[in-house]
Each structure stands twice: as C-alpha cells, then as structure tokens.
C-alpha cells in the first residue's frame, strides 16, 4: 500500500466490471423495466450469498492464521478505503494473480491480473470501508468507525490501484523481492520491490483483488447491501 506515485495502475488488465453487462451464460432479459429490476435483484442475491459465506469463512481461517498468501481469485475487484492506515514492517512488490479455471470474469485478461502486493506485519486502520459491485447493488462492509480501530497482523493486499498521502520511515527502494525481510513475505526473485520500517497512509483508497491476514479484528462491524459504494 503506497501513494499513487509508487504504483502503476493496471487498468488494461482489469476484468470487465460486472455492472457493465450480463455475465457469460446469462440469458438476455426481455420485457419492461420492472422485470429487468427483479431479474437484476435476483442475480445480485444469488451472487451475494456465496460472497457472504466466503467472508465468514475467511474470518474463521484468518483468526486461526490458516489462510495462505496465494489463492485463486474470483476476478471481481473490490474497493477498500480508510481514513488512516498505520503499519510496522512494510513490503511491496509486483505479482500476478490467477482466476479460477472457467471464471466468467476473465474478460480479455486470460484469467490473470497484474497486481502490486503490499504486506504489513502489523497494521491499524481507521474508518475502514470495503465494497464489491454485485451488478447494480454493493455488498458493503464497514468497521473501526468508533473509538476502536481495525487491527490486522500479517496483512497482505493485491491491488491494481492505490492512492493516498503516504509517509515512510526507514524506506529501501529497489530491493530484490526475494530478499525482503520487513514483513515476513518474500516475492519472486528478480522482481523490483521496496520495504520500510513503518508506513502511514492518509485517505487510503485501493482497488483490490485479494486480501489476507493472520488475524483481522473488526470492531463495530457492519455488513449490508447498499446502492452506495465506498
């Protein structure tokens, strides 16, 4: 996670937004606006049930420290924002995420997305918001908007776009990703990377394809469907 100047957006590699049209294999909807609305809501509900179950499963696995850094992504990007992020032990390097075989979200990417992996050993976030577009409605999660902040350990995010106001202490730029040692994560050999002792990012905004953590503590968690994205 770094300022926009540190990261090059990979818009050309981003799968087609689900909101822009029907997924492959979805029958064309004919009829009036009322029927289209009902069909869209049914489609969103079908997509949302697995998303909710996955979120619950990830909460259990991350609490046990059992979730690995790498897994097959859905190919659906999600937005993450926070008023402030503070972290100790920061690393960042390029990587390639792969979608599940046969995913309808491949678009023209060939099922792979070029991402920037950011790893933080210990992080705190204020006013965390996460939303994913389910085709006309958003699954929206908020936490840490009270006196208690969101706390994460061994946090990694795979992003195609990041922005914010960043400050690094003890930064090293140009490391080989296989030699990183600040957050306990190593990237591919021969890949450009950077790392720092501490990082602060204000007004953080990310477009992510994957997030993992050893432990993720979410005070005042609220999950809902909303027309409003983060």
pLDDT recorded at residue 32: 52
pLDDT above 60 for 14: no
From CA 11, how far away is CA 137, in angstroms rounded?
Answer: 22
Q: Compute the C-alpha angle 179/85/216, nearest 5°.
A: 80
**Token pair recorded at residue 225:** 């469907």
Q: Place 56 in a pLDDT band, splitting at 50, 70 and 90.
A: very low
pLDDT at position 142 is 97
pLDDT classification of 71: cutoffs 50, 70, 90: confident
Mean pLDDT of 184-202: 95
The SS3 of residue 148 is coil
Residue 106 has pLDDT above 50, yes or no: yes
Q: In this predicted structure, which of 14-18, 54-58, 176-180, 222-226 has the lowest mean pLDDT? A: 54-58
The percent of residues above 90 in pLDDT, for the chain, comes to 67
Is pLDDT at 24 greater than 90 in this prediction?
Answer: no
Q: Give the H/E segment covering residue 41.
A: helix 33-63
Gap between the Cα atoms of 41 and 135, Å rounded: 9
Share of the chain above pLDDT 70, in %: 70
Distance CA 190, CA 213 (A): 25
Mean pLDDT, residues 59-75 taken together: 54
Higher-pLDDT residue of 145, 17: 145
Instruction: Taking residues 22-51, report their average pLDDT.
Output: 44
Q: What is the mean pLDDT of the chain?
A: 79
**Selection from 24-33, 60-69, 119-128 with the highest mean pLDDT:** 119-128
Instruction: Determine the pLDDT at residue 42.
Output: 43
């Amino acid at each position: 996670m770094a300022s926009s100047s540190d990261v090059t957006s990979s818009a050309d590699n981003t799968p087609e937004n689900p909101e822009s049209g029907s997924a492959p294999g979805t029958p064309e909807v004919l009829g009036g606006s009322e029927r289209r609305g009902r069909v869209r809501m049914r489609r969103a509900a079908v997509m949302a049930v697995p998303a909710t179950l996955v979120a619950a499963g990830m909460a259990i696995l991350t609490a046990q420290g059992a979730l690995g850094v790498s897994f097959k992504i859905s190919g659906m990007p999600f937005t993450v924002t926070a008023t402030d992020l503070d972290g100790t032990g920061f690393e960042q390097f390029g990587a390639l995420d792969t979608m599940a075989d046969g995913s309808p979200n491949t678009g023209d990417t060939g099922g792979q997305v070029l991402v920037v992996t950011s790893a933080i050993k210990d992080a705190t976030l204020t006013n965390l918001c996460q939303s994913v577009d389910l085709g006309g409605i958003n699954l929206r999660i908020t936490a840490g908007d009270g006196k208690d902040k969101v706390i994460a350990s061994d946090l990694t995010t795979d992003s195609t776009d990041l922005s914010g106001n960043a400050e690094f202490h003890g930064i090293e730029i140009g490391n080989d990703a296989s030699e990183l040692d600040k957050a306990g994560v190593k990237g591919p050999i021969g890949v450009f990377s950077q790392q720092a002792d501490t990082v602060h990012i204000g007004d953080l905004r990310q477009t992510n394809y994957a997030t993992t953590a050893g432990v993720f503590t979410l005070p005042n968690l609220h999950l809902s469907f909303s027309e409003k994205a983060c």
